[in-house]
Amino acid sequence: MKAVSKEAYAKINLYLKVANKRSDGYHNIASIMQQIDLSDTVTVSVSKGDGSIDITCTDPEVPCDGTNIAARCARAFLGRLGKNDVSVRIGIFKRIPVSGGLAGGSSDGAAVLSALNEITGNPFAENDLKAIGAGIGADIPFCLTGGTCECYGIGDSISEINTYAVPSYSVLLVSPGGSVPTPDAYRMIDEYILTRPKYEGTIPDILDDIYDGKIPCRYLQNDFENVILPTRPDIAGLKRELLDTGAAAAMMSGSGPTLFGIFRRHGDAAAASEKLKEKGIRSWVCKPVLKF
């Protein structure tokens, strides 16, 4: 039996605008996604077998059946490879909050694709893996790329942002608990799109700041805040609390409910985390994952 373990990193959206709803039901977005070092550990093993896929997870909220994104990625990989005489076992040690807007499930799926590719002798190039993953989850191509990226389309059109000028900063994740069902979030976004000024699908000043080596605080945007925060005062209140603890900027990631604060110094992020934990608020001190 061959086994490979991969770290599956969470992401935050430093910028997220929804451009429009497509005819296929998906949405075109413009986003800057940033990988952070909070990760699940995904262990994949392959043995002779009947094509079965067995999955276990340390978090009871995660379904351990064929609906799990990691299991679906394994099934798609084997189908593309044309292998039906092996069985796959997937173990997920979960650290990323479930349904938190952090791409935890997509990252696990990306880790499975990467691990299976390694185990089977790297039959697929990275772009092939991205194509397999894109059919399962829009964030999977980014999770396979990692680092800091501009993302367009449904999230599958990706350009890496590689600049040595990026300064050091820390990210404090906080969770209000619960979840925001993605279909509900996009239903509200569809109504919001109809009433706002037309969006041309570009990413303006925040990208200039990143290339200029500035901490990305001034131009954080997330369309989902416009529709989620009015319905979730607990999330709105937690965002204010993050700012009160010293964050230079704070925003919801993805469709939420997890929020993140950007801190210029790691010690300040750690101190804020302790204050929030005293109030029973879950938090994680993280660093951006850079690829250079």
DSSP annotation of 147: S
144: exposed, middle or buried (Cβ count in 10 Å: 0-12, 13-18, 19+): buried
275 is catalytic: no
Choose the catalytic residue: 11, 17, 94, 239: 11
Helices and strands in the chain, H and E counts: 9, 11
What token pair was written down for 41? 């550990």
Residues present in the chain in total: 292
The C-alpha atoms of residue 59 and residue 98 are separated, in whole angstroms, by 9
Bond from prior residue into 257 cis (ω within 30 degrees of 0): yes
139 is catalytic: yes
The C-alpha atoms of residue 168 and residue 154 are separated, in whole angstroms, by 29
Choose the catalytic residue: 6, 94, 130, 139: 139
Among residues 62, 57, 61, 64, the alpha carbon closest in space to that of 93 is found at 57
What token pair was written down for 228? 């989620």
| Run of H or E including 56 | strand 53-57
Task: Give the catalytic positions in this structure.
Answer: 11, 139
